[in-house]
Amino acid sequence: MNAPGPTVLASGAWLKNSACLLDAAGPHWSALHGDLDGPQACCKLEASLRQLALAAGRPVDAVAHDLHPDFFSTRIARELAQEWCVPAIAVQHHHAHIAAVLAEHALDEPVVGLALDGVGLGTDGSAWGGELLRVDVHGFERLGSLWPLQLPGGDIAAREPWRMAASALHAAGQGERIATRLAAAVGDNLARGVQRMLATGLNCPATTSAGRWFDAAAGALGLSVRQRHEAQAAMALEQAASQWLESHAVDVLADVQIVDSRLDLRPLLSPLFDVPASAPHVGAAAAWFHVSLAHALAEWAAGAAKGLGLRTICLGGGCFANRVLRDHLVEGLARRGLRVLLPQAKGCGDAGLALGQAWVVAQWLRRAPAASFPQEVPACV
């Protein structure tokens, strides 16, 4: 990270936003602006970007931003790039998560990256969030993803875990159970409406998000019906698992398969709908879900690394704030003889994403003329 190179300014993510300038001296961070869902945070981001650029002591060579065109962080990056007559370059969200690990650990070797979070726009226009990638200084390759779940009602499904539980039932071929299983929590009319929605596919976009699988598990176990804040359901699921694992072990793991490069997590969800609604049973089921998921992810990533002849696995994305998942996965990968790296300074979530964005664009600038970059706002003539 200390080698001479271009100066790149990155505008970061939509959630937990912070900006970063990467130059020969390393990364220079803004303050944490929070979620860009109000004018105050947006104004702070613009001010931080201008301040970082001014403090660089030389003109920035490019401005990096997320692939999503509607984010304020994308719009302000493109506006500033046009103002400064430099290219604005989009970086896919999960690519940036893994690139942030490479940047922080000063790696230039290819790695297998496992990016697990709530959502990020994929290069195919769909909602990604459970991605197995090969990443190096030239870019990334999507090796596989988690099995997709539908989002009944669209974005509202991310705020109502019961909808993701319904989606998991539908994905398992048990859609007829939705009304009978979930009506007590949300009402018969609403449960039947979502059941019909999933059956017809109306307003049910698909996502590979790991976060939505955690929501589905929490909804299936009755730990969360509606979330008051981000990741509330996942945290409740983790807490139940952690408490159980303090004095118990999980011996029998779910049999999870890879189907068409997708890790099929449906076997992890189906048994949860039949768990009795008592604390010991729910805790045991939550622990089983976490440990089985970690085992499946370790097998998946290790298989990819072996096939590619690689030995380093990089983990990124907000789901790795879950200590139960993270610790069991790291242990499983290490047991398979792999080196495992995680983000350090800014944590695994979106607060550190800007470093990955800047690093990706810096690598491209070293290797290609700016005119060849994708998703670019052309520099002024």
DSSP secondary structure, 150-205, as one string:
E-TTGGGGGT-HHHHHHHHHHHTT-GGGHHHHHHHHH-HHHHHHHHHHHHHTTT--
Residue 54 and residue 127 in one domain: no
Give the model's pLDDT for residue 271: 95
What is residue 230's predicted lDDT score, i.e. its pLDDT? 86
pLDDT at 374: 55
Looking up residue 205, the CATH number of its domain turns out to be 3.30.420.40
Query: Quick one: what percent of the chain has pLDDT higher than 90?
Result: 91
Count of domains forming the chain: 2
Q: Residue 296 pLDDT > 80, yes or no?
A: yes
| pLDDT at residue 277, rounded to an integer | 87
Torsion of CA 342, 361, 262, 319, to 10 degrees: 40
180 vs 379 pLDDT, higher one = 180
Query: Is residue 138 scored above 70 in pLDDT?
Result: yes
The DSSP secondary-structure symbol of 224 reads: -
Distance CA 129, CA 322 (A): 15
Same domain for 323 and 354, yes or no, is no
Q: What is the pLDDT of residues 11-46, one digit of tens each?
A: 999 999 999 999 999 999 999 999 999 999 999 999
Same domain for 71 and 200? Answer: no
Confidence of residue 4 (pLDDT cuts 50, 70, 90): low
**Range of 150's domain?**
109-346
pLDDT score recorded for residue 184: 93
Residue 131 has pLDDT above 80, yes or no: yes
Residue 379: pLDDT band by 50, 70, 90 thresholds? low
The tokens describing 263, both together, are 């890790």
**Could you tell me if 186 and 232 lie in one domain?**
yes
Residue 1 domain-assigned? Answer: no
Direct distance between the N- and C-terminal alpha carbons of the chain, in angstroms, rounded to an integer: 31
Q: Are residues 54 and 181 part of one domain?
A: no
Q: What percent of the chain has pLDDT over 70?
A: 95
- Is 104 contained in some domain? no
What is the DSSP code string of 100-158?
A: HHHHHTT--S-EEEEEEEEEEE-TTSSEEEEEEEEEETTEEEEEEEEPPEE-TTGGGGG
Token pair for 305: 């690394």
| 186 token code pair | 């949300």
pLDDT of residue 251: 86
Give which of 16, 15, 6 is closest to 61, Cα–Cα: 6
Q: Is residue 95 part of a domain?
A: no
Question: Do 302 and 320 reside in the same domain of the chain?
Answer: yes
Query: What does DSSP assign to residue 349?
Result: S
- On whether both 311 and 185 belong to a single domain, the answer is yes
372 confidence band (pLDDT: 50, 70, 90): low
Flag whether pLDDT at 225 surpasses 70: yes
DSSP per-residue codes, 62-107: EEEEES-TTSHHHHHHHHHHHHHT--EEEE-HHHHHHHHHHHHTT-
229 and 201 in a single domain? The answer is yes
| Strand duo 62-66 + 26-29: pairing | unpaired
Report the DSSP beta bridge partners of residue 341. Answer: 314
Whether 321 shows a pLDDT value over 60: the answer reads yes
In a domain, 234, yes or no: yes
Q: Is residue 58 predicted with pLDDT exceeding 80?
A: yes
Confidence at residue 5, expressed as pLDDT on a 0 to 100 scale:
82
Residues 144 and 262 occupy one common structural domain: yes
Orientation of helix 279-308 relative to helix 323-335, angle to 10°:
40
As beta bridge partners, residue 90 has: 65
Tokens of 318: 């907000």
Model pLDDT for residues 60-100, shown as the tens digit of each residue? 999 999 999 999 999 999 999 999 999 999 999 999 999 99
The DSSP letter of residue 275 is S
pLDDT band at 113 (very low <50, low <70, confident <90, very high): very high
CATH number of the domain residue 68 falls in: 3.30.420.360
Does any domain span residue 209? Answer: yes
pLDDT for res 72: 97
- Please indicate, yes or no, whether residues 303 and 266 belong to a single structural domain of this protein: yes
Cβ neighbours of 218 (radius 10 Å): 29
Q: Flag whether pLDDT at 381 surpasses 60.
A: no
**Residue 208 to residue 206: CA distance in whole angstroms:** 7
- Residue 260 Ramachandran class (φ > 0 left, ψ -120 to 50 alpha, else beta): left
Are both 32 and 156 inside the same structural domain? no
| Mean confidence (pLDDT) of the chain | 94
pLDDT of residue 376: 52
